[in-house]
Amino acid sequence: GEEVAQTPKHLVRGEGQKAKLYCAPIKGHSYVFWYQQVLKNEFKFLISFQNENVFDETGMPKERFSAKCLPNSPCSLEIQATKLEDSAVYFCASSPATGVYGYTFGSGTRLTVV
Amino acid sequence: SQQGEEDPQALSIQEGENATMNCSYKTSINNLQWYRQNSGRGLVHLILIRSNEREKHSGRLRVTLDTSKKSSSLLITASRAADTASYFCATYSPNDYKLSFGAGTTVTVRA
């Protein structure tokens, strides 16, 4: 399809619970990016993939965050033992290449940790 | 960390007026991009300007880039209520391989 599909739209987790977010990139786009947006402004880069390989994970809090992009499956971002500060909107984006084209973003998953 | 800083943080204009917002960045770039975010939605790519370009147009949008001053501006002409949104600049730097976003400018267009 021509849109990046993110599920679920909303997710509520108790502190310490696991959260798993999904992203289906546009078919034919080799690159997938995850960003975290807190308080409607700053977009923090988390991780990127080139196909199923991690391309850049410099933004990932590695202790509790993990991500995968497996063939023929949606990409996923998992947060183990969520904390209150993980409350944010998580956006996935895809692009045919990195640094040449703009990104196409999904509508995001709003994670609320209570 | 944030690469770009945007100015102003918020802008309120009357329908039909022009809106101008600015973005400054710190390191050398391959390109600079502008995105729009409507409330509760994802980012929509508006325009990409390469480091060797100085000006680019797309419909009612005009983007300028001054690499010597490390700054860019986005002009929206003849604004409409539907232009109400937050606008973000993002830079792509060599050897960084990812877009770094500014904090955004919130534009409100009054009918």
Q: Residues A64-81: pLDDT tens digits?
A: 999 999 998 999 999 999
| CA–CA gap between residue A50 and residue A111 (Å, rounded) | 25
Residues of chain A in contact with residue B100, where contact means CB-CB under 8 angstroms, are 45
CB contact under 8 A, A4 and B42: yes
| CA–CA gap between residue A19 and residue A14 (Å, rounded) | 10
At B83, list the tokens. 């232009």
Contact partners, residue B53, CB within 8 Å, separation at least 6: B65
By CA distance, what is A38's nearest residue in B?
B103
pLDDT at B3 over 90: no
Mean pLDDT confidence for B46-50: 97
pLDDT score, position B1: 44
pLDDT at A20 over 60: yes
Helix or strand (DSSP H, E) at B44: strand B43-50
pLDDT at B92 over 60: yes
By CA distance, what is A59's nearest residue in B?
B1
CB contact under 8 A, B97 and A99: yes
Highest mean pLDDT among A35-39, A79-83, B96-100: A79-83
User: What is the residue-averaged pLDDT of chain B?
Assistant: 93
Interface with chain B: mutation pick from A32, A35, A41, A107, highest number of B CBs within 10 Å: A41
At B93, list the tokens. 């730097």
pLDDT score, position A2: 85
Under a CB-based contact definition with an 8 Å cutoff, are residues A7 and A26 in contact?
no
Mean pLDDT confidence for A13-33: 97
pLDDT at A96 over 80: yes
Contact partners, residue A78, CB within 8 Å, separation at least 6: A18, A19, A20, A21, A65, A66, A67
CB contact under 8 A, A48 and B35: no
**Neighbouring C-beta atoms of residue B24, cutoff 10 Å:** 16
Query: Closest Cα of chain A to B92: distance in Å?
Result: 6
Nearest to A67 by CA among A57, A79, A76: A76
CB contact under 8 A, A108 and B44: no
pLDDT score, position B52: 96
Nearest to A47 by CA among A100, A111, A112, A98: A98
By CA distance, what is A108's nearest residue in B?
B42
